[in-house]
Amino acid sequence: MSPEAGLRAILNFEMYKRVLLKLSGEALAAGRGFGIDAVFVHRIAEEIAELHASGCQVGIVVGGGNFFRGVAEQAIHMDRVAADHMGMLSTVINAIALQDAIEKQGVQCRVLSAIAMHQVAEPYIRRRALRHLEKNRIVIFGAGTGNPYFSTDTAAALRAMEIKADVLLKATSVDGIYTADPKKDPDATKFDRITYMDIIQRGLRVMDTAAVSLCHDNNMPMLVFSMRERGNILRAVQGEEIGSLVISDKA
């Protein structure tokens, strides 16, 4: 067995009892650029429900870039803190939309917000999140970390470690990590496996440096894969060799 196959065998479905799934806000727009594509959101909800039915406990962090990003061009003349707070509120809009779609699949789901808004979401309390997961409810974490200057990638890394997830799943528009943007460079080659330090040294824009460092320091494995192919979320959790596996060189 090759080292890569051996690592995949170690990180198999038997270990994937609890996962943190990171979804971008742009993904929920499904190519429209702005807003929510209801058909696509319900398709993703079906896949998440299938994952839940397999016996896996699921936490989700969703971005807000389909409405507003604190570092986007439309925020260029805004105070960064105000812009980031607007971005956090955008993630809660997406979290509520995803919650509604998941519950229509007959699965209990809770939105926990890092910014208090009691009428629409529960406050994020780590013990409460763990209790929901233990009760077999899907938990969606909204409002990022609740602090400006931190991306939802960093929120995903943080929540993955707080809930003691077995793996961080990052669903993207491409099928893994490449040496360059495969949409712009036809010669870009894909990594089946890479370390967090390699990502930093190569300057690969997989996620922000704070999130990469957090995962590296705490030995949190991450699988980057495409969400465009139906069924990939469940395939990833079941240990199929899709996407790119990222590990800490401490592992």
Binding residues for ATP: 22-25, 65, 69, 172, 178, 181
* Residues placed in the known binding site: 22-25, 64-65, 69, 84, 145-152, 172, 178, 181
Specify the length of the chain in residues: 251
**Residue 14, exposed/middle/buried by CB under 10 A (0-12, 13-18, 19+)?**
exposed
CA angle 172, 176, 178 (to 5 degrees): 120
Of 249, 199, 188, 203, nearest to 224 by C-alpha is 199
Residue 24: partners with Cβ closer than 8 Å, 6 or more residues away: 62, 63, 65, 152, 171, 172
Of 15, 25, 13, nearest to 60 by C-alpha is 25
* Residues placed in the known binding site for UMP: 64, 84, 145-152
Tokens linked to 246:
């990222």
Q: Residues 88-113, buried b or exposed e (16+ Cβ, 10 A)?
A: bbbbbbbbbbbbebbeebebebbbbb
Residue 9: Cβ within 10 Å count: 11
CA distances to 22, 125, 156, 209, 240 from 167, in Å: 11, 21, 11, 18, 14
